[in-house]
């Protein structure tokens, strides 16, 4: 019997990508689709690429609708602005699986939350990055999932094996480029096509980006000790994709082979994370639209650093694909159900 899924926030980029993937998921039936300012509009006008849903009309985001009026939903995905999920989630019963694609339940430390988001901390849910040590066990059977941020997905997958294997010093330096969909669909002047085409620019420099504490949380857990993160995000002239260049000082005795072996072992059984053959480098175009993660490692002996580069699709593995992967685990389905490692290129 099909899993019935509702999507709150179906008009945005995360909601749209989730619907694209749900349409291809063999076990899921799409239930209510809600929006706020867009309630009452045809989905065909808001998400013109989702032709099979073109005639669906957005409903308002209310507890009744998300619970399911005619038939209850088994899963409710929340693709809402940060800080709005908690209020909606607490009105949903304990038996429905709630998958929060926002930030509300990602952080364990209330102080971090308050510092970066400026509101009271709502709590912490099982973290939807199955590849992290221990994550799958926490996700199995859970009724609440906090989907990771897009940058933390790319960065944590790139660096956790190095920290788990004690290969590098606890001071990570990360520069990542993201496509513009990561900034959402709200119309802001600096996100206009005229502004972003032909342009690379940084933002949130110096530790100001909200994804920083999430990376620290993940990498410190892998290291078993505090890790500092210097994170610089940049906006790249493309709609999708994150390329994360991550590095840290190599510990004594670490060689290119040590690093390669550790990563090969870490990802040997992972269905979505691919350590590329030597000589091939990650490219965001290669994972466009797919749930795959491309990873490559290097050891710069002269500079004494291990460099790890990862490429993901920020909307797929970085948001909606990661959400579905975790949902599959929570529901006891095969983890890869409905998810693809095939990109759309060129």
Residues 171-190 that bind a copy of itself (CB under 8 A): 171, 173, 175, 177, 179-181, 183, 185-189
CB of 90 to a copy of itself, least distance (A): 31
Q: What is the distance between the alpha carbons of residues 299 and 249, in angstroms, rounded to a whole number? A: 10
* Distance from the Cα of residue 103 to its chain's centroid: 10
Residue of 10, 150, 292, 315 marked active site: 150
Whichever of 128 and 338 has its CB closer to a copy of itself, that residue is: 338
CB of 216 to a copy of itself, least distance (A): 9
Angle at 8 between CA 312 and CA 137, to 5 degrees: 55
Q: What is the distance between the alpha carbons of residues 238 and 335, in angstroms, rounded to a whole number? A: 29
Whichever of 38 and 142 has its CB closer to a copy of itself, that residue is: 38
The Cβ of residue 226 has, within 10 Å, a number of other Cβ atoms equal to 9
Give residues 304-343 in contact with a copy of itself (rule: CB under 8 A): 304-305, 307, 309, 311, 340-343
- DSSP SS3 for 74: coil
**92 in Cβ contact with 100 (< 8 Å):** no
Distances (CA, A) of 49 to 8, 74, 277, 344: 19, 26, 34, 15
Q: Counting contacts by CB under 8 A, is residue 238 touching a copy of itself?
A: yes
Give residues 287-306 in contact with a copy of itself (rule: CB under 8 A): 287-290, 292, 294, 296, 298-305
Q: Counting contacts by CB under 8 A, is residue 49 touching a copy of itself?
A: yes
Q: What is the distance between the alpha carbons of residues 103 and 108, in angstroms, rounded to a whole number? A: 11
- State both tokens at 89: 């989630």
Whichever of 91 and 255 has its CB closer to a copy of itself, that residue is: 255
Q: Counting contacts by CB under 8 A, is residue 170 touching a copy of itself?
A: no
Q: What is the distance between the alpha carbons of residues 96 and 69, in angstroms, rounded to a whole number? A: 14
Give residues 215-234 in contact with a copy of itself (rule: CB under 8 A): 228-230, 232, 234
Q: Counting contacts by CB under 8 A, is residue 237 touching a copy of itself?
A: yes
Whichever of 67 and 283 has its CB closer to a copy of itself, that residue is: 283
**140 in Cβ contact with 195 (< 8 Å):** no
Which residue, chain included where needed, has tokens 């460099």? 307
Single out the segment in contact with a copy of itself by CB under 8 A; choices: 13-21, 100-108, 127-135, 152-160: 13-21
Out of 16, 128, 130, 318, point to the residue binding a copy of itself (CB under 8 A).
16
Single out the segment in contact with a copy of itself by CB under 8 A; choices: 67-75, 135-143, 276-284, 321-329: 276-284
Catalytic residues: 150
């Amino acid at each position: 019997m099909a899993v019935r899924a509702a999507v709150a926030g179906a008009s945005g980029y995360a909601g749209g990508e989730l619907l694209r993937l749900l349409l291809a998921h063999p076990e899921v039936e799409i239930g209510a689709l809600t929006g706020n300012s867009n309630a009452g509009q045809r989905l065909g006008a808001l998400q013109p690429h989702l032709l099979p849903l073109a005639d669906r009309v957005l409903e308002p985001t209310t507890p009744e609708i998300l619970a399911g009026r005619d038939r209850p939903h088994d899963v409710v995905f929340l693709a809402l602005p940060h800080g709005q999920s908690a209020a909606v989630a607490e009105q949903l019963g304990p038996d429905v699986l709630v998958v929060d694609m926002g930030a509300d339940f990602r952080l364990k430390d209330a102080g971090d939350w308050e510092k970066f988001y400026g509101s009271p901390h709502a709590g912490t849910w099982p973290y939807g990055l199955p590849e992290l040590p221990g994550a799958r066990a926490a996700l199995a059977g859970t009724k609440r999932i906090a989907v990771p941020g897009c940058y933390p997905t790319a960065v944590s997958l790139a660096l956790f094996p190095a920290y788990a294997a004690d290969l590098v010093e606890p001071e990570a330096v990360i520069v990542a480029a993201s496509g513009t969909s990561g900034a959402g669909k709200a119309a802001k002047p600096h996100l206009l096509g005229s502004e972003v085409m032909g342009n690379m620019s940084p933002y949130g420099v110096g530790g100001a980006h909200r994804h920083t504490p999430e990376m620290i949380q993940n990498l410190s857990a892998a290291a078993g000790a505090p890790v500092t993160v210097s994170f610089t995000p940049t906006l790249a002239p493309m709609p999708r994709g994150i390329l994360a260049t991550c590095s840290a000082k190599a510990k004594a005795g670490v060689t290119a082979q040590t690093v390669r072996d550790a990563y090969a072992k870490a990802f040997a059984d992972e269905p979505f994370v691919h350590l590329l053959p030597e000589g091939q480098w990650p490219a965001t175009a290669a994972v466009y639209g797919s749930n795959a993660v491309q990873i490559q490692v290097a050891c710069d002996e002269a500079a004494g650093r291990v460099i790890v580069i990862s490429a993901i699709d920020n909307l797929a593995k970085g948001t909606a694909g990661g959400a579905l992967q975790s949902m599959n685990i929570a529901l006891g389905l095969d983890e890869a159900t409905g998810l693809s490692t095939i990109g759309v290129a060129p």
